[in-house]
């Protein structure tokens, strides 16, 4: 069974100012990032859905200057959120030259929520695909095949059985990929949970 390279999620505190910080990349290095946006509500709950918090999140991406970004908890066209296209907003607020690909399948308030990808326009795209996954709400993974590698972003369900089923779907998706494949996102799986870590053995 082909192994998937897991890009582990990491979190950056939005309260830290990144205006003066830069993270230079060496030549010919591809930088990958995953980030659960929490719908750009800010660092508290319930938080506030507004352009200010969206710009703050975008500033983190701008500072890191990744080539590909997997983003989770995005919304599009929801009636109670000004029918915004959150992925597009984030892309624009970074000021970087990104394409965006939204894969939301879960219908909420006239719109959809789900994961999405940002990727630099100088990366040659071979194909794009939305992969439906199991979940108590409609889940998905977004796949983009570039010339030299494949990248998938997702947000797996909290339901143990459906999370494991989704992991199997993602493994099967890689069967005919003959180049490096990266999986990133919020996998909702941890060995520290009472029944956690069950999806990781499937992915490995």
Q: What is the pLDDT of residues 44-71, one digit of tens each?
A: 778 899 999 999 999 999 999 999 999 9
pLDDT of residue 204: 80
69 compared with 3, residue with greater pLDDT: 69
**Looking at the domain assignment, is residue 120 inside a domain?**
yes
pLDDT (average), residues 94-118: 97
Q: What is the pLDDT of residues 149-181, one digit of tens each?
A: 999 999 999 999 999 999 999 999 999 999 999
17 compared with 87, residue with greater pLDDT: 87
**Looking at the domain assignment, is residue 11 inside a domain?**
no
**Looking at the domain assignment, is residue 3 inside a domain?**
no
**Looking at the domain assignment, is residue 22 inside a domain?**
no
In CATH, what number is assigned to the domain containing residue 184? 3.60.10.10
**Looking at the domain assignment, is residue 175 inside a domain?**
yes
Separation in Å, CA 147 to CA 8, 154, 177: 23, 21, 12
Other CB atoms within 10 Å distance of the CB of residue 46: 7
Domain count, the chain: 1
DSSP 8-state assignment for residue 27 = T
Angle between helices 51-64 and 86-94 (to 10 degrees): 50
Residue 17 has pLDDT above 50, yes or no: no
**Looking at the domain assignment, is residue 176 inside a domain?**
yes
pLDDT of residue 192: 77
Separation in Å, CA 105 to CA 112, 114, 160: 6, 6, 20
Q: Which of 12-26, 28-42, 54-68, 186-200 has the least mean pLDDT? A: 12-26
**Looking at the domain assignment, is residue 12 inside a domain?**
no
Residue 1 has pLDDT above 90, yes or no: no
**Looking at the domain assignment, is residue 110 inside a domain?**
yes
The residue segments making up the domain with residue 180 are: 30-203
pLDDT of residue 16: 39
């Amino acid at each position: 069974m082909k192994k998937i390279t897991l890009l582990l999620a990491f979190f950056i505190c939005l309260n830290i100012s990144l205006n003066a910080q830069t993270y230079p990349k060496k030549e010919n290095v591809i930088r990958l990032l995953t980030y659960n946006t929490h719908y750009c509500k800010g660092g508290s709950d319930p938080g506030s859905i507004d352009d200010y918090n969206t710009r703050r999140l975008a500033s983190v991406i701008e500072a890191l200057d990744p080539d590909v970004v997997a983003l989770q908890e995005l919304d599009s066209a929801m009636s109670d959120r000004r029918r915004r296209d959150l992925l597009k907003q984030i892309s624009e607020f970074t000021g970087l030259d990104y394409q965006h690909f939204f894969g939301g399948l879960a219908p909420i308030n006239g719109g959809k929520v789900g994961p999405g990808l940002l990727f630099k326009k100088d990366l040659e795209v071979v194909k794009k695909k939305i992969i439906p996954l199991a979940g108590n709400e409609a889940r998905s993974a977004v796949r983009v095949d570039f010339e030299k590698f494949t990248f998938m972003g997702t947000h797996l369900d909290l339901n143990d059985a459906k999370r494991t089923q989704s992991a199997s779907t993602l493994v099967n998706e890689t069967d005919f990929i003959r180049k490096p494949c990266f999986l990133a996102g919020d996998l909702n799986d941890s060995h520290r949970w009472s029944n956690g870590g069950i999806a990781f053995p499937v992915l490995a």
